[in-house]
Copies of this chain bind each other. A is one copy, B any other.
Amino acid sequence: MAEFLKLRTAEEAWALFLRHFQPAPARETCALVDALDRVLAEDIVARHPLPVFSRSTVDGYAVRAADTYGASAGAPAYLDVVAEVAMGAAADFALEPGEAALVHTGGMIPPGADAVVMLENTNRLAAPMFGGRPRQAGFTAFAIEVHRPAAEGEAIIQPGEDVSAGEVVLRAGQVLRPQDIGGLAALGVTHAPVMRQPRVAIVSQGDEVVPPDQEPGPGQVRDINSYTLAALVRRAGGVPINYPIVPDEQAALDRAVRRGWEEADIVVITAGSSVSYRDLTAAAINRAGQPGVLVHGVAIRPGKPTILAMCDGKPVFGLPGNPVSCINIFLHFVSPTIALYLAERPAPARTTRARLARNIAAGSGRADFVRVRLEEREGETWAVPVFGKSNLIFTLVRSEGIIEVPLNSNGLPAGDEVTVVLD
């Protein structure tokens, strides 16, 4: 009747799991408008430079810089303006010495020009002074005074200044942010190669568990874990598949696990924490495929009665039924498994530093994960532990993050600076 869990540390458990995990991720393409937060499946190489042509960064006159050397307000340089480069139009004429062309911000720089003088540093005169002939039908040439010399390259973006042809601009495994999507658009990649999101089957078990839209009778509780797990799967980049609640019966659990295994890439079972539930779960997992249960019991609190398993190539997890433990273990093992499936490059967790508001005793022989809420006091952030049994979902609702009291530590004294992993 006693607990026969063989506890492993989180690190040992994960290492053992990894030795059996060969993720077989698949790729797909995704319209750019839907690509936010998807994981890129291959390196993106620029097929052409960006920009493709020289562009002005200001409103002004494209000039030959040498024509403006020594110019000042007192002794301006004079140039004939022979064309205006319309936005989106090619500058299909070459600028001769003594000539200039009106350009707009983002407009193309005509051949021959090597700098742009801002409008503010010029003065427009009536007629051309050097017989400058218009290069465009309908354009009336005029002259300008230039009051400041322009350096070669001034106010011009050169071709390839943003990106060179052949450059790797985005790397496989990265999660696409808004600007990355902009970068893909700039290169004409309207369908992004992304990793297929793994489907995660969520099987919630227990005779006492009823769907949340049902009024629980005496001894019954509403299903919480199906909902938190589905949200956590989404946040980790997977696609959740929820199944009806499974009663406390081996054959029903076997069928549900089998169905999850067939329809999904990863199976997550959450059941009560009683020994009988654990035995049912382990048996169902061992029947679902080889080698079956790898780890049964992890030195983590909350979350000790955890199962890590591999069934014919697909990861299967048995999570504790207590909602707090369930979430803690999901973040420890299932989120990283989804990330591996997505071949996602490791990103640092979202953390903040805070000062601990109360002593936290050491857990004996296990890593302790303590929920905290954050409080600002006199310009400092304090982490206030939110204690409570691991069945109390609202301890999580009241908290904003988590701190770890490592295995074999002496606890954490109040006033210490700690790292809070934010929700």
Contact = CB atoms under 8 A, between A and B. Distances in A.
Given A3-B120, A188-B213, A231-B181, A389 B106 contact: no
Interface residues of A, number: 103
A33 B124 CA distance: 65
B87 A397 contact: no
B224 A186 contact: yes
A205 B207 CA distance: 60
A170 interface: yes
Interface string A167-186: 00110000001111111111
A228 B178 contact: yes
Contacts of A410: none
Given A186-B393, A212-B186, A274 B104 contact: yes
A77 to B, nearest CB: 18
Contacts of A356: none
A218 interface: yes
A219 B90 contact: yes
Nearest to A395: B162
Interface stretch (A10-18, A50-58, A285-293): A50-58
B170 A219 contact: no
Interface string A268-290: 00001111110000000000000
Contact of A393 (B162, B212, B215, B396): B162
Interface string A54-84: 0101010000000000000000000000000
A1 interface: yes
A186 B222 contact: yes
A364 interface: no
Contact of A208 (B87, B209, B388): B87
Q: Please provide the 4 A-B residue pairs with the shortest distance between their CB atoms, ordered closest to farther.
A: A90-B218, A88-B208, A179-B396, A178-B231
A137 interface: no
Nearest to A191: B213
A183 B394 contact: yes
A217 interface: yes
Interface in A74-113: 85-92, 104-108
A381 B411 CA distance: 27
Contact of A87 (B190, B207, B392): B207
A169 B397 contact: yes
A36 interface: yes
Given A87-B207, A170-B397, 5 more contacts: A1-B120, A36-B234, A59-B274, A185-B227, A190-B213
Interface string A318-345: 0001110001000000000000000000
A230 interface: yes
Given A162-B388, A169-B397, A186-B212, A423 B179 contact: yes
Contacts of A216: 52
B327 A178 contact: yes
Contact of A212 (B90, B185, B276): B185
A96 B182 CA distance: 72
A126 interface: no
28 contacts: A1-B124, A2-B120, A50-B392, A88-B248, A89-B207, A90-B217, A90-B218, A105-B272, A106-B272, A107-B219, A119-B275, A157-B391, A177-B231, A177-B423, A178-B229, A180-B397, A181-B227, A182-B231, A182-B323, A183-B393, A183-B396, A184-B212, A185-B212, A185-B227, A186-B323, A188-B212, A188-B214, A188-B222
A75 B232 CA distance: 49
A389 B57 contact: yes
Contacts of A163: 394
A178 B232 contact: yes
A396 B224 contact: no
Nearest to A109: B219
A162 B394 contact: yes
A225 interface: yes
A76 to B, nearest CB: 16
A221 B51 contact: yes
